[in-house]
Amino acid sequence: MHLDQSENSTMAFLPLLRYGLIPDFLLIFKKISPTEPMQDNPTQVPLWRQLQGAASLLMAVRDGQSMTAALEDVDAQLRPGVQALGFHVLRWLGRAEALRQQLAKRPPPPEADALLCVALGLMAPTFGTGVSSLPPEGANFPRGGPSENSMPLYTNYTLVDQAVEAAKRSEATQHQASFINGCLRRFYVSGTRW
């Protein structure tokens, strides 16, 4: 059987997709080719920029603004990813805020708090450490609790790295980068006890 280049490039990434190493929503926007570096592609948006956008959405929602209205202020190139991350984080915001309260005795500045809660909201659904795993056998989650559809899109160490990068690249959070790093690593290392 002969495979053309587009079929071959997509098939090369199926094992990575199956194990959660490539978020499936990225495959919708652009076919991924193993010969094309991601950093040279202008349509690929770094995760740290999307995390910054999701944090700004969270701050707007906390200020009483509708997320739909806040999305209008997001750059069009970032909007799909920021929207997906924003909805996921809002779904897990209660748990993320509770985790942040346990990880930090004093609340950080609002910008750093929003970024930290975004990262924790994306990490929180993990039922183990490292990469995504299914809920424990026999777990009973009524009304929209965790499912395969609510599994994290990224590994924890990727989220830690990119959240710290997002903090370093913003004037409002650059002085809180080490604090965010410490909180996320503490949660990541001892994740099964939370």
Which tens digit of pLDDT belongs to each residue from 30-75? 444 444 444 555 578 999 999 999 999 999 999 999 999 999 999 9
What is the C-alpha to C-alpha distance for residues 150 and 119, in angstroms, rounded to an integer? 15
What pLDDT, on a 0 to 100 scale, did the predictor assign at position 41?
54
**pLDDT-based confidence at residue 175 (cuts at 50, 70, 90):** very high
What six digits make up the tokens of 84?
Answer: 């997906």
Across the range 107-125, mean pLDDT stands at 92
**pLDDT reading at 7 higher than 80:** no
What pLDDT, on a 0 to 100 scale, did the predictor assign at position 124?
65
**pLDDT reading at 191 higher than 70:** no
Across the range 87-109, mean pLDDT stands at 93
Across the range 143-172, mean pLDDT stands at 78
Domains of the chain: 1-30 (no CATH), 47-193 (1.10.940.10)
Mean pLDDT computed over every residue of the chain: 76
State the chain's maximal CA–CA distance in angstroms: 62
What is the C-alpha to C-alpha distance for residues 52 and 142, in angstroms, rounded to an integer? 32
**pLDDT reading at 86 higher than 50:** yes
Across the range 10-14, mean pLDDT stands at 49
**pLDDT reading at 87 higher than 70:** yes
- What proportion of the chain, given as a percentage, has pLDDT over 90? 54
What pLDDT, on a 0 to 100 scale, did the predictor assign at position 13?
47
Residue bearing the bigger pLDDT, 135 or 188? 188
**pLDDT reading at 147 higher than 80:** no
